[in-house]
Amino acid sequence: MSGSQSTSEEEGVRNFMIVDLHYHEMFAPKPFAYLNNEVMTIEGVDFGALNLLEFGDVLSHVVKGPCEDVYYCSKNDTLAEGMLSRKINK
């Protein structure tokens, strides 16, 4: 998952982070990559206001299945250099 955030506000409209969600496949070790994944862009969600469980609920709703582990990196990092993970405990 990668994302970018716009911080400008115009006429009282807040711009939220845009998240590119990659899901439903597997990691390959060499070169390190996520293969054959589905991609969905999520917009209009205030991710900054969500706790980790609520974040997991949003992802589960989007992918129509359970979301227990999240691996993520900034759009400015390569997958191999910037990937972090979080366990979502329910």
Domain count, the chain: 1
Dump pLDDT digits (tens) for 4-48.
Answer: 444 444 455 566 878 888 777 777 877 777 777 788 888 888 888
CB 25 within 8 A of CB 35: yes
* Domain range for 53: 2-87
Residue 42 CB partners (closer than 8 Å, separation 6+): 18, 19, 21, 58, 62
Cβ-contact 1, 20 below 8 angstroms = yes
Enter the DSSP assignment of 15.
Answer: P
What is the predicted pLDDT for the residue at 9? 46
pLDDT of 12 reads: 53
Q: Are 86 and 56 in contact (CB under 8 A)?
A: no
This prediction's pTM = 0.62
Pairing of strands 33-35, 13-14: unpaired
